[in-house]
Amino acid sequence: MKKIVVLTGAGMSADSGLATFRDAGGLWEGYDVQEVASVHGWRKDPETVLEFYNARRRQLADAQPNAGHRALARLEASCEVTVITQNVDDLHERAGSSDVLHLHGELTKARSVENDDHVVNIGYDPIHLGDTDEQGHQLRPHIVWFGERVPMMEKAAGIMQEAELLMVIGTSLVVYPAAGLVDFAPAGIPRYLIDPARPELISLEGWTYIPRKAAQGTPELAEKLLGNK
């Protein structure tokens, strides 16, 4: 059974109608991303930050996995598939993927401002000022904000080292530290990049580049791989 490791980015969620952090020049439906996705913004105006993520959660509740998400789930019928995603939505899980690592946190969870290990599932419910853990500490979105450490990077790097086939979907590999994960994959394994934007900062030597959107290119590649089994 081949071990497939998949790294997904914003393009995967965009094909389900979810906006990305870098749309509209750093604005997200009128919000300055640096003000709602940073520790500085949280300390300055926590109510606005909570309102922003509550709106994202409502949007996510209405979104549906696209053909790309479902194609990755189908691969589990004959391959061992681990998805490492930069996205904070739950669309991979809802499509049926069983092994998903979220680099940047999860929108459907909250955590204590005083204890990063105290994480609770909230689904699509809002978080308000005054919502606290058992010790009375305010809950915040379980999201890795700009400037914060990415705690899952070491685990993700270890997963990459075990890959026998690598798929990178919906990202042009320009945002670090996540983009550096591909350097941990073994040399010589098949590598596929699915994204309309041709990457500018890496060489495509050794890659099969598929200039398609995630919802289009992923099912095509999945069917090809399943046909080779």
CATH classification of the domain holding 49: 3.30.1600.10
Contact 5, 191 (CB under 8 A): no
Q: Are residues 213 and 175 in the same domain?
A: yes
The CATH number covering residue 170 comes to 3.40.50.1220
pLDDT tens digits, one per residue of 149-171: 999 999 999 999 999 999 999 98
189 and 205: one domain?
Answer: yes
Match 């399943």 to its residue by tokens.
Answer: 226
Q: At what angle do helices 214-227 and 67-74 cross, to 10 degrees?
A: 20
Which pLDDT does position 26 carry in this prediction?
47
- Token duo for residue 119: 């994480």
Which strand (E) or helix (H) includes residue 166?
strand 165-169
Query: Residue 204's pLDDT is what?
Result: 80
Cis geometry, peptide bond prior to residue 177 (ω within 30 degrees of 0): yes
Average pLDDT, 10 consecutive residues per value, the chain (229 residues)? 92 87 54 85 95 94 97 95 96 98 97 94 97 95 92 96 96 73 94 88 83 97 84
pLDDT of residue 28: 58
Half-sphere exposure of 198 (CA within 13 A, CB side): 5
44 burial type by CB count under 10 A (0-12 exposed, 13-18 middle, 19+ buried): exposed
Task: Say which of 92, 102, 104, 142 is annotated catalytic.
Answer: 104
Query: Would you state the pLDDT for residue 27?
Result: 47
**Domain with 31 in it:** 20-62+110-143
Report the C-alpha gap between 42 and 49 in whole angstroms. Answer: 6
Residues 189 and 227 in one domain: yes
Co-location of 196 and 207 in the same domain = yes
DSSP alpha helix (H) spans, 80-213? 91-95, 153-161
pLDDT value at residue 33? 79
Counting the structural domains of the chain, the total is: 2
Cα separation, 11 vs 21, in Å, equals 11
- Is 137 a known active-site residue? no
Task: Let me know: does 86 contact 9? Beta carbons within 8 Å.
Answer: yes
Residues 199 and 87 in one domain: yes
Give residue 29's pLDDT.
Answer: 61
Are 100 and 213 members of one domain?
A: yes
pLDDT at residue 24 in the model: 45
Q: What are the residue ranges of helices labelled H in 75-111?
A: 91-95
Q: Which amino acid is at 155?
A: K
